[in-house]
Amino acid sequence: MLEVTEDCTGCGICVKTCPFGAILVVDGKAVVQDNCTLCSACVQVCPFDALVLERKVEEKDLSGFRGVWVFIEVEDNGTVRSASLELLSKGHELAKELDEELCAILLGDGVHNLTGELGRYGATKVYLVEKPELAEYNTDAFATVIVGLITKYGPSIVLYPATHIGRDLAPRIAATIQVGLTADCTGLSIVDGKLLQTRPAFGGNIMADILSANHRPQMATVRPNVMPVMDPIDGPDPMIVFEDVTIDPGLIRVKVIERTRMDEPGVKKIDEADIIVSGGRGAVQDGKLEMIEELAAVMGAAVGCSRAVVDMGVKPKSHQVGQSGKTVSPKLYLVSGVSGAIQHLVGMKSSDIIIAINNDPNAPIFTVAKYGVVGDLFEILPKLTEAIRAEKGL
């Protein structure tokens, strides 16, 4: 419970910090109200260490849990999704620091040819489960198999990409084995042998460092395109552990009737692209986003858009950046004709470099842009496309 000690001076810094308005200063001392959620935001800002959050600490021997595991997501075309390679690269670092093994969990049908590639990105062991029932992702089947593996081998860390599949799967596993899970991390490190998980919260307005120190495995989903992919290494192929499982047909309770891919295979996904060229309502001309698409093509970029563009039926939702679309963090986000509603900003403001073009000098998009251009995008974009073409000798 949150306690206010004698050291409280009633300075009121905690009152301003509390995201829930749960602290009042009464008679020169902070008083915690019933709507306190114990989020601990106040504990850290108190200059007098007068707010104390007591937590029961159990002494458990967790040394038997060893190994950093990464869930491998396989694309429809049978390749490893880049988000999983990013996790292997990060996992390689974490495993080294812990002096533990980096292991890949690979489920599917006819996917054994991928194990060599997993080895080149640091995996020394691959837990391989091949079954016709695992050819396509299914929550019940995948969760059951992975829960079995975790229970049998006891890893210390399990990482999943924060894709639609990872975010469907990981919480199911966490709730089954009753361990912690941190969502959509943008940073991972080892501190005193524990996994420190960093993630944005409150719509990206604050960052939080999260621990799950008393439970194993420590689990996290990790935002795609944030962790760099390592240079492939030469070395022996990873050891393959073949796991034979029986999947009861009654286990699979949700059936896929139909699947529609918005894009042809090969079209860059916005959450995996290094460069996104994005357009809003202001960039739509004759029901198309043509200038954006042309610029994206010469830059080798993915095409993003705002919600308004999806509403107008100009682009499918898989291209939408923002609160009800995707959160992206490319190296470059070049955005035109988006005024910058907060719902759009939360989806892209963690991009490394943002270039914004808009005819309204007061558009909020300029508050997050490293480079801003106040001007007519219909004049600038074609010239920019032409200039890049010339630079690249296209």
Residues 162 to 221 in contact with other proteins, rule: CB under 8 A: 163-165, 167-168, 170-172, 174-176, 178-184, 196, 200-212, 214-215
- The CA radius of gyration of the chain, in Å to the nearest whole number, is 24
Site string for other proteins, 145-164 (x = CB under 8 A): ------------------xx
Of residues 119-138, those binding other proteins (CB under 8 A): none
Distance CA(60)–CA(57), nearest Å, equals 9
Stretch in the footprint of other proteins (CB under 8 A) among 34-42, 89-97, 113-121, 127-135: 34-42
Stretch in the footprint of other proteins (CB under 8 A) among 87-95, 148-156, 278-286, 309-317: 309-317
* 380 contact partners, CB below 8 Å, separation of at least 6: 336, 357, 373
Q: Minimum distance from CB of 212 to other proteins (Å)? A: 5
φ and ψ at 20, to 5 degrees?
A: -115, 5
Of residues 322-361, those binding other proteins (CB under 8 A): 323-325, 331-332, 342-343, 346, 350, 353, 355
Give the nearer residue to other proteins in terms of CB position, either 128 or 369.
369
Is residue 10 near other proteins by the rule CB under 8 A? no
Nearest Cα to Cα of residue 324 among 309, 303, 335: 309
Q: Minimum distance from CB of 119 to other proteins (Å)? A: 26
Give the nearer residue to other proteins in terms of CB position, either 128 or 283.
283
Using the rule CB under 8 A, which residue among 3, 45, 96, 148 binds other proteins? 45
Of residues 12-31, those binding other proteins (CB under 8 A): 13, 15-22
Distance CA(16)–CA(45), nearest Å, equals 10
Let me know: does 279 contact 309? Beta carbons within 8 Å: yes
Of residues 51-110, those binding other proteins (CB under 8 A): 53, 55-56
Is residue 40 near other proteins by the rule CB under 8 A? yes
Q: Minimum distance from CB of 244 to other proteins (Å)? A: 25
Is residue 372 near other proteins by the rule CB under 8 A? yes
- List the structure tokens of 243: 């796991």
* 281 contact partners, CB below 8 Å, separation of at least 6: 306, 308, 309, 312, 337, 338
The DSSP secondary-structure symbol of 55 reads -
CA atoms in the 13 A half-sphere facing the CB of 137: 18
Using the rule CB under 8 A, which residue among 26, 64, 391, 393 binds other proteins? 391
Q: Which helix (H) or strand (E) holds 42?
A: helix 41-45
Distance CA(168)–CA(181), nearest Å, equals 12
Q: Minimum distance from CB of 184 to other proteins (Å)? A: 6
3-state secondary structure of 223: coil
Using the rule CB under 8 A, which residue among 5, 28, 38, 60 binds other proteins? 38
Give the nearer residue to other proteins in terms of CB position, either 50 or 310.
310
Give the nearer residue to other proteins in terms of CB position, either 70 or 126.
70
Distance CA(368)–CA(1), nearest Å, equals 38
Of residues 232-291, those binding other proteins (CB under 8 A): 253-263, 267, 269, 271, 275
CB atoms within 10 A of CB 323: 16
Q: How many residues bind other proteins (CB under 8 A)?
A: 113
Let me know: does 309 contact 289? Beta carbons within 8 Å: yes
Using the rule CB under 8 A, which residue among 29, 93, 130, 139 binds other proteins? 139
Nearest Cα to Cα of residue 357 among 332, 380, 328: 380
- List the structure tokens of 19: 């995201």
Is residue 48 near other proteins by the rule CB under 8 A? no
